[in-house]
């Protein structure tokens, strides 16, 4: 069957794949990774797939439509996100209007949280594949074309659809994939369909390739949408041998690549596996390409040193807050003193840190905001980002803030600034969302413009020339945002 998989056009450099979808100030553009994994699985089962990443390929809707019409698919898969959902539905409806027999299915975290409301938005949308959708799409493709009563859809786990009478039906959830080694390596999909030079992470050397070695996260942070809605709280892992083989494939097939990013929610959740994986890379001579990973602030120095020897360059770490009570409120499971020790050990091991700080969490006040900024300066990671809380549908935070009456709008088109930058829709009695956005502007400026930090970047570019390209590219992208407000000037006086 001919299938088109589309990351639809929206704003320039808009990253649906991000945990907090937006246009970033650093110029970061994520791979449409989960859609790419599904494409590989469809191709493995014999389907012919056209894969279009419109934001990366700078395509508007008319160009996408032209390519789709030329390909003449029977099934179209559209990726979605919360702030772009109305746009995504519109794109799907417009393309379906040009191909009367096209079956349209939406995927992604947002529609996984709200399958029935999504289908009610427009009756031209045929179905939503909710949750981990790789196998759901393969099964759906095997059922098409449908009989007039659509009876074949009733047996597909993980699918919500509109039946022949127009009633929305939600099937039972699909079980998570246990043997992840059976899904084709996503780097093979990139090689066939995408141009890796289009993608950039502000903390990574570029061009980079982004993969996962496992799915699911064992931790229960209240804000994090992917484990709560998409892939669960059990860390399911590919075999070490399977991941090492993909490293070899990347080395052999992407001569320009400068870094591999392991985008597991928390690679370091299994430290024994981290050590085994690192030892496998060392034994097989696969350490020439630096790699980075998402980590918690709890990795021991011995494990870090083995990972560094295997080529680990950077940890991306969600520190979130400098206030222990807030960390406890959001079930982060980390301690301030342990975080400080972790950062010191990472610097001893020679591993860089990208620190993520999120404001507006449960219990946030003006005083805790100031503590977080002071904490960020004290830790002084290699790079840092500051962003306001976004309580996405389906998360514990969304339920909490909605019950409090603190979500200011559920018009998802208003969940970003006009330019697509991070905003917030959470205002608590202590802090309005405008103040949170203004604080992030201030924190970013104060963190980056410290004389000592600027000097460290200059020294870094001289002593480590491989870092120069990403530093200069990120600096060029973020410079225009440093001195103007992201949202409005309202609320800045109190900060």
CATH code, domain carrying 309: 3.80.30.20
Cis previous bond, 343, omega within 30: no
Express each pLDDT in 278-323 by its tens digit: 999 999 999 999 999 999 999 999 999 999 999 999 999 999 999 9
Q: For residue 169, how many other CB atoms are within 10 A of its CB?
A: 16
Query: Where among 136, 163, 190 does a domain terminate?
Result: 163
40, 124: one domain? yes
In a domain, residue 152? The reply is yes
Grouping H, G, I as helix, E, B as strand and the rest as coil, residue 201 is coil
Query: Strands of 2-7's sheet, edge to edge?
Result: 48-53, 2-7, 75-79, 103-107, 127-129, 159-162, 168-170
Q: Determine, yes or no, domain membership for 33.
A: yes
Do 228 and 92 have their domain in common? no
- Domain assignment of residue 194, yes or no: no
pLDDT band at 121 (very low <50, low <70, confident <90, very high): very high
Last residue of a domain, one of 105, 140, 163: 163
Domain range for 66 is 2-163
Give domain status of residue 16, yes or no. yes
pLDDT at 494 over 70: no
Say yes or no: 370 and 453 in one domain: yes
434 vs 492: CA distance, rounded Å: 8
Shared-domain flag, residues 420 and 330: yes
- Same structural domain, 266 and 395: yes
Helical residues (DSSP H) of 122-203, grouped into ranges: 134-143, 186-193
The pLDDT assigned to 313 comes to 98
Check whether 491 has a pLDDT greater than 50: no
Shared domain for 205 and 325, answered yes or no, is: yes
Asked whether 146 and 1 are in contact (CB, 8 A), the reply is no
Same domain, 375 and 448: yes
Burial, 261: exposed, middle or buried (Cβ in 10 Å; 0-12, 13-18, 19+)? buried
| Domain assignment of residue 181, yes or no | no
CATH of the domain at 81: 3.40.50.280
Beta bridge pairs of residue 388 = 359
* pLDDT > 70 in the chain, percent: 98
Residue 492 resides in a domain: no
Antiparallel, parallel or unpaired: β 208-211 and 214-215:
unpaired
Are residues 110 and 243 part of one domain? no
pLDDT grade for 100, boundaries at 50, 70 and 90: confident
Q: What is residue 482's predicted lDDT score, i.e. its pLDDT?
A: 81
Q: Please indicate, yes or no, whether residues 147 and 230 belong to a single structural domain of this protein.
A: no
Could you tell me the pLDDT band of residue 149, with boundaries at 50, 70 and 90? confident
Which residue did the predictor score with more confidence, 489 or 275?
Answer: 275
215 Cβ partners below 8 Å, 6+ apart?
A: 132, 176, 177, 180, 231, 232, 235, 236, 264, 265
pLDDT at 495 over 50: no
pLDDT tens, 369-382? 999 999 999 999 99
Last residue of a domain, one of 163, 181, 216: 163
Identify whether residues 145 and 209 lie together within a single domain.
Answer: no
Reported as a single tens digit per residue, the pLDDT across 205-254 is 999 999 999 999 999 999 999 999 999 999 999 999 999 999 999 999 99
Cα–Cα distance, 478 to 481 (Å, whole number): 5
Distance CA 300, CA 400 (A): 34
How many C-beta atoms surround the C-beta of residue 4 within 10 A?
24
Same domain flag for 105 and 246: no
Phi/psi of residue 63, nearest 5 degrees: -70, -40
| Inside any domain, residue 241 | yes
Mean pLDDT of 131-141: 98
Inside any domain, residue 151:
yes
> Do 338 and 229 reside in the same domain of the chain?
yes
pLDDT at residue 489 in the model: 40
492 pLDDT higher than 50:
no
Q: Which residues pair with 129 in a beta bridge?
A: 159
Q: How many domains does the chain have?
A: 2
Q: State CA 79 to chain mean position distance.
A: 13
For residue 168, the SS3 value is strand
What pLDDT does residue 488 have?
52
> What integer pLDDT is reported at residue 333 of this predicted model?
96
Model pLDDT, residue 326:
98
Q: Among 68-72, 162-166, 408-412, where is mean pLDDT lowest?
A: 162-166
Question: Three-state SS for 150?
Answer: coil
The answer to whether 36 and 81 are in contact (CB under 8 A) is no
Higher-pLDDT residue of 54 and 494 is: 54
Mean per-residue pLDDT over the chain, rounded: 95
């Amino acid at each position: 069957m001919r299938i088109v998989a589309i990351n639809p056009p929206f704003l320039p450099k808009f990253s649906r794949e991000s945990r907090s979808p937006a246009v970033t100030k650093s110029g970061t553009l994520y791979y449409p990774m989960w859609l790419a994994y599904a494409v590989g699985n469809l191709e493995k089962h014999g389907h012919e797939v056209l894969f279009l990443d419109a934001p990366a390929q700078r395509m508007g809707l008319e160009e996408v439509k032209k390519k789709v019409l030329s390909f003449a698919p029977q099934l179209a898969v559209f990726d979605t996100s919360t702030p772009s959902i109305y746009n995504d539905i519109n794109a799907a409806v417009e393309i379906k209007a040009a191909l009367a027999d096209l079956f349209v299915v939406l995927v992604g975290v947002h529609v996984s949280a709200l399958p029935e409301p999504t289908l009610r938005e427009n009756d031209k949308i045929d179905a939503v594949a909710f949750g981990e959708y790789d196998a759901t799409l393969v099964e759906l493709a095997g059922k098409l074309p449908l009989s007039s009563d659509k009876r074949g859809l009733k047996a597909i786990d993980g699918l919500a659809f509109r039946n022949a009478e127009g009633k929305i039906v939600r099937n039972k959830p699909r079980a998570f994939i246990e043997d992840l080694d059976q899904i084709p390596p996503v780097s093979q999909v990139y090689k066939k369909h995408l141009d890796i030079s289009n993608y950039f992470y502000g903390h990574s050397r570029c061009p980079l390739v982004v993969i996962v070695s496992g799915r699911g996260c064992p931790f229960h942070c209240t804000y994090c949408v992917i484990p709560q809605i998409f892939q669960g709280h059990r860390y399911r892992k590919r075999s070490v041998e399977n991941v090492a083989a993909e490293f070899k494939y990347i080395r052999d097939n992407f001569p320009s690549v400068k870094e591999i990013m392991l985008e597991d929610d928390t690679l370091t959740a299994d430290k024994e596996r981290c050590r085994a994986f690192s030892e496998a890379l060392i034994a097989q001579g696969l350490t020439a390409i630096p790699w980075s990973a998402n980590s918690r602030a709890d990795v021991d120095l011995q494990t870090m040193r083995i990972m560094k020897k295997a080529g680990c360059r950077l940890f991306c770490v969600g520190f979130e807050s400098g206030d222990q009570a807030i960390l406890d409120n959001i079930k982060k499971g980390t301690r301030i003193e342990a975080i400080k020790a972790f950062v010191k050990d990472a610097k001893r091991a020679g591993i860089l840190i990208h620190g993520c700080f999120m404001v507006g969490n449960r219990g946030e006040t003006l005083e805790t905001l100031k503590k977080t900024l002071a904490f960020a300066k004290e830790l002084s990671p290699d790079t840092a980002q500051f962003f306001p809380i976004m309580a996405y549908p389906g998360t514990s935070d969304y339920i909490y803030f909605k019950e409090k009456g603190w979500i200011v709008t559920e018009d998802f088109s208003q969940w970003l600034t006009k330019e697509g930058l991070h905003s917030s829709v959470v205002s608590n009695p202590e802090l309005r969302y405008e103040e949170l956005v203004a604080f992030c502007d201030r924190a970013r400026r104060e963190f980056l413009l410290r004389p000592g930090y600027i000097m460290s970047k200059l020294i870094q570019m001289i002593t480590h020339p491989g870092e120069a390209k990403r530093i200069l590219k990120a600096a060029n992208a973020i410079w225009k945002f440093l001195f103007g407000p992201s949202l409005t000037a309202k609320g800045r006086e109190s900060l």
